[in-house]
Structure 1
Amino acid sequence: MKIELKRISVRDLVEGYEDNEDLGVIAFDRRLDVRPPYQREFVYKDKQRDAVIETVRKNFPLNVMYWAVQGNDSFEVIDGQQRTISICQYVDGDFSIDINGHQLAFHNLQTDQQEQILDYELMVYLCEGTESEKLDWFETINIAGERLTAQELRNAVYHGPFVSAAKKYFSKNNCPAYQIASDYLPGGLSPIRQDYLELAISWANDGKIDEYMRDHQHDTNADDLWQSFKTIIDWVAATFPKKRSQMRSVKWGSHHKIYGTDIYDPKALEQRISSLMGQNEVRKKSGIYEFLLGGESDTRILEVRVFEDRDKLAAYEAQTQEARASKISNCPLCAIGTNANSDRIYEFDEMDADHVAAWSKGGSTNLANCEMLCITHNRAKGNK
């Protein structure tokens, strides 16, 4: 790759600046593609954005930027998109910064202050090379402190019409995917960091994201991916109409794959959900949805509260005392019949606590409903 260092003034950089949600961002007299297909969305927070302008205002050096030479006197940003957009937005009047206790936009500055910013020179490396070399550079030298996410890197490797089309559904602020799914997905997921796109592909292709992007790189649209994602979210909304914060931790994609064709009564499910949400014994509330979808067969999903040691010990002592007096096993199930262990007295660590009345059938997790069983019988009893 051929690399040449150039000094580019802010005045020249912002000439012809335009930010179009669908068509991208251009600057430098419309010769610079600020957001080529493999680039991330604008992710700087206000503090980072303001710091760029303060650096320029004080004539401190910004980190060097990298542009790829495209031919015909045109370029695209390899590294420096966030700083470039911050500068262009400020000069264009999109935001203000605090200067001596006053919020001042570019147009509020004195003429000499404006000129100082416009005359500021950026250090830019112009890089000429193959498409693969540009992508290698992009992956290697992305902005320190704002590391690319795994999906942003995939977008770079498999850039093409599919990525561009998919971004319209999954990668914009308030995009369609966010509008229909934000109530059901973790709050930390960000469309502009490609989290929604990554999740949608993972759901559609059993977690094999790279393979999906490889096979669909040159698709002219992302309609199938959108429909796949929408089908899952529509199923969630129809099956569990009442929205709860606990829904955000549920793995809806895998649940739809297993239970998506089953028939459920939403009203009956809601009654059961409401009941389980109110039970202190249920420690993992988000597990309620999988528990109900699976027919309430595995209470481990709920991490049901276990008996306290003092209750287990009390139950053990009471059972053991009664068993010795009756010359039968202190495991109630071993004491039944004439098996080899019918009169065996187990040590405390050879037994475990079980609900007399199953928790799933309304039994409480307290001493009154606690019995000690030998480990073999406790495991065999399960949730019966």
Structure 2
Amino acid sequence: MKIDLHHIPVRDLVEGYINSGYDGVVGYGGALDIRPKFQREFVYDTAKQQAVITTILSGFPLNVMYWSKGTDPASGDPSFEMLDGQQRSMSICEYVKGSFSVVVGGNPKNFDNLSGTDQERLLDYQLMVYHCEGSEDEQLAWFEVINIAGLTLRPQELRNAVYTGLWLTDAKRYFSRENQGAHKLAKDYVAAGEVNRQDLLQRAMEWHGGKGDVAIKEYMNLHRNDANANAIWTYFKSVIDWAKLIFSVQRKELRTVPWNALYDKYNQAPLDAVVLEERVKALMSDEEVQKKSGIYTYVLTGEEHTLGLRTFTDNQKREAYERQDGICPKCGDHFKLEEMDGDHIIPWSKQGKTTSDNCQMLCIRDNRSNR
């Protein structure tokens, strides 16, 4: 890949700046695509944006930027896509546009409130920009290893850089917009993380295609050239609508339930939402249940391990061991303490509690067979 260094004044970068949100961001007289399809969403908060402007007004150097160089098919003129520098570039352009202020001389000032000297200092500031020419694969491989102003790319942001296409553009429309689409629908039922950094999109693909980096990449590769993301959106929406239907009472624990697995297995089952809620409420009050989020899975599957039931303390197990003289009540043999484990005499399912008088020590073999 060919890389050449250029010095671009801020005034050239901000010329023709248009921020159309999710529909695109351009600058540099319309020749620079500041937010290409593979780029992450804008994640700088106000403090970071202000730091960029303060750096420029102080005359300090910003990190270099990288623009992919191509040719406009209509005019034949050079065109560019932002490889690295979106956050800094948009901070600069938004400040000149008047979107926020910075403290100058002890007072907050928008760009139009700066002195003429400070305005010219900012507009004349030279950005160090590398123009990169090469194949798409070379440019995307380069993008994968770039950190933007110390903010390391998330795994899903890196995958987005590799698997661009119509499918990804449409999927981001559903899953990458905070308080819209999937986030608005599911925020009470899914721990969405940072939506604009693709956490919810990753979750949706894990649900529809399988967990793990390899599975997600295979899914994106398979669907990269699909015309739209209707399939994953329809599935995600079906899962959440089903979850809302059978568990309508809002609790924080809803956000960590593996809804996709439960939906796949039980969405056709004749479930009674009222009965389920009664069971959930009772289990939420049960001090033996340590993992409250597992209650939702338990009331459908009956799998006790999802509840994280309270276990006996070392002292309780020692007490039972001494009381039994090290004899396993199941097989009648003697064992060392470390060869045994605590077991409920009356199981939790029959209202047994994790108390000293309900503890017995079984040898490991009998304890396992007793489960």
TM-score, normalised by the number of residues in structure 2: 0.91
Alignment pair present for 1:82 and 2:87: yes
Match of 2:231 among 218, 224, 236: 224
**Distance in 2 of aligned mates of 1:332 and 1:140:** 61
Amino acid at match of 1:206: G
Q: Is the 1:175–1:191 Cα contact (8 Å) retained in structure 2?
A: no
Alignment pair present for 1:106 and 2:111: yes
Match of 1:284 among 291, 306, 322: 291
> After superposition, where does 1:340-351 map in structure 2 within 5 Å?
341=332, 344=333, 348-351=337-340
Q: Is the 1:135–1:156 Cα contact (8 Å) retained in structure 2?
A: yes
Amino acid at match of 2:2: K
User: Aligned-pair distance for 1:345?
Assistant: 5.4
Number of equivalent positions:
363
User: Aligned-pair distance for 1:16?
Assistant: 1.0
**Distance in 2 of aligned mates of 1:346 and 1:133:** 64
Unaligned runs of 5+ in 1: 321-328, 335-340
Match of 1:244 among 245, 251, 256: 251
Q: Is the 1:13–1:27 Cα contact (8 Å) retained in structure 2?
A: yes
User: Aligned-pair distance for 1:19?
Assistant: 0.7
- Cα distance, 1:126–1:368 mapped onto 2, change above 3 Å: same
Alignment pair present for 1:363 and 2:352: yes
Amino acid at match of 1:194: Q
Match of 1:203 among 203, 207, 210: 207
Q: Is the 1:17–1:25 Cα contact (8 Å) retained in structure 2?
A: yes
SS at match of 2:8: strand
- Cα distance, 1:28–1:268 mapped onto 2, change above 3 Å: same
User: Aligned-pair distance for 1:333?
Assistant: 4.3
> After superposition, where does 1:155-304 map in structure 2 within 5 Å?
155-186=160-191, 189-207=193-211, 208-295=215-302, 298-304=303-309
> After superposition, where does 1:132-151 map in structure 2 within 5 Å?
132-151=137-156
User: Aligned-pair distance for 1:351?
Assistant: 4.1
Q: Is the 1:67–1:78 Cα contact (8 Å) retained in structure 2?
A: yes
Amino acid at match of 2:359: C
SS at match of 2:5: strand
Unaligned runs of 5+ in 2: 72-76
Amino acid at match of 1:90: Y
User: Aligned-pair distance for 1:104?
Assistant: 1.5
- Cα distance, 1:66–1:318 mapped onto 2, change above 3 Å: closer
**Distance in 1 of aligned mates of 2:336 and 2:218:** 55
**Distance in 2 of aligned mates of 1:43 and 1:84:** 12
**Distance in 2 of aligned mates of 1:87 and 1:131:** 27
Deviations 1:156-207 (A, max 9, x none): 11111111111110112223111111222225x1121111111111211123
- Cα distance, 1:28–1:378 mapped onto 2, change above 3 Å: same
| Aligned position for 2:343 | 354
| Aligned position for 1:14 | 14
**Distance in 1 of aligned mates of 2:145 and 2:340:** 58
Q: Is the 1:16–1:27 Cα contact (8 Å) retained in structure 2?
A: yes
**Distance in 1 of aligned mates of 2:87 and 2:189:** 30
Q: Is the 2:284–2:292 Cα contact (8 Å) retained in structure 1?
A: yes
| Aligned position for 1:68 | 68
| Aligned position for 2:74 | none
**Distance in 1 of aligned mates of 2:65 and 2:327:** 77
Farther off after superposition, 145-154 or 224-233:
145-154
Amino acid at match of 2:52: V
User: Aligned-pair distance for 1:347?
Assistant: 5.2
Farther off after superposition, 164-173 or 311-320:
311-320
Match of 2:136 among 121, 131, 138: 131
Q: Is the 2:12–2:28 Cα contact (8 Å) retained in structure 1?
A: yes
SS at match of 1:76: strand
**Distance in 1 of aligned mates of 2:163 and 2:336:** 62
- Cα distance, 1:348–1:82 mapped onto 2, change above 3 Å: closer
**Distance in 1 of aligned mates of 2:66 and 2:83:** 5
Runs of 4+ more than 6 Å apart: none
**Distance in 1 of aligned mates of 2:336 and 2:160:** 60
Amino acid at match of 1:179: K
User: Aligned-pair distance for 1:380?
Assistant: 2.6
Q: CA RMSD in A?
A: 2.1
Amino acid at match of 1:135: L
- Cα distance, 1:363–1:312 mapped onto 2, change above 3 Å: same
**Distance in 2 of aligned mates of 1:217 and 1:345:** 63
- Cα distance, 1:274–1:143 mapped onto 2, change above 3 Å: same
Q: Which has the larger radius of gyration?
A: 1
**Distance in 1 of aligned mates of 2:58 and 2:360:** 75
**Distance in 2 of aligned mates of 1:32 and 1:367:** 71
**Distance in 2 of aligned mates of 1:242 and 1:305:** 25
